[in-house]
Homo-oligomer: A and B are copies of this chain.
Amino acid sequence: MIKENLEKYQIIEDCPVRNVLDRIGDKWSILVISILGELGTLRFNEINSIIGNISQKMLTVTLKTLEADGLVSRKIYPQVPPRVEYTLTELGNSLLPSIATLTQWALKNMSTIKASRERYFKSLSVK
């Protein structure tokens, strides 16, 4: 019963969930995707302002990774000062429903989880 399932999970290298989570499971990717998904095309500093507390470095890294993965497209206007616009690609857009599903679940169960954690740690301190 277990042995039959070994190979299914053991080959982590090509695990699809790992593959996607390694990319969007970081601190900022999903937030950036959500913002672009909702607001359309945005410039670097617009995204920066909307998020508010992201460092310039991490926004750069996040956008570069998303661009490399083909989730975000980057358009440069050759002018001074430069203007760079970011938009979700079709692939990026296709990820929105999955994120929405996750968001729904999170919104619905946040308080339950929070309560569970508090109960759990309280029970630990008693022991």
Instruction: Give residues in A with beta carbon < 8 Å to B.
Output: 1-2, 5-6, 9-10, 12, 15-21, 23, 25-26, 30-31, 34-35, 38-39, 46, 49-53, 67-71, 91, 94-95, 97-99, 101-107, 109-110, 112-113, 116-117, 120-121
- Can you give 6 A-B contacts (C-beta < 8 A)? A20-B106, A21-B25, A68-B120, A69-B117, A91-B109, A101-B101
B103 with A17: CB separation less than 8 A: yes
A interface: dominant SS: helix
Given A9-B34, A70-B117, output 18 extra A-B contacts at Cβ < 8 Å: A2-B46, A5-B35, A9-B31, A9-B51, A9-B52, A10-B52, A12-B31, A16-B103, A20-B102, A20-B105, A21-B25, A21-B102, A23-B113, A70-B116, A94-B105, A97-B101, A98-B98, A101-B102
How far in angstroms is the closest Cβ of chain B from A96? 10
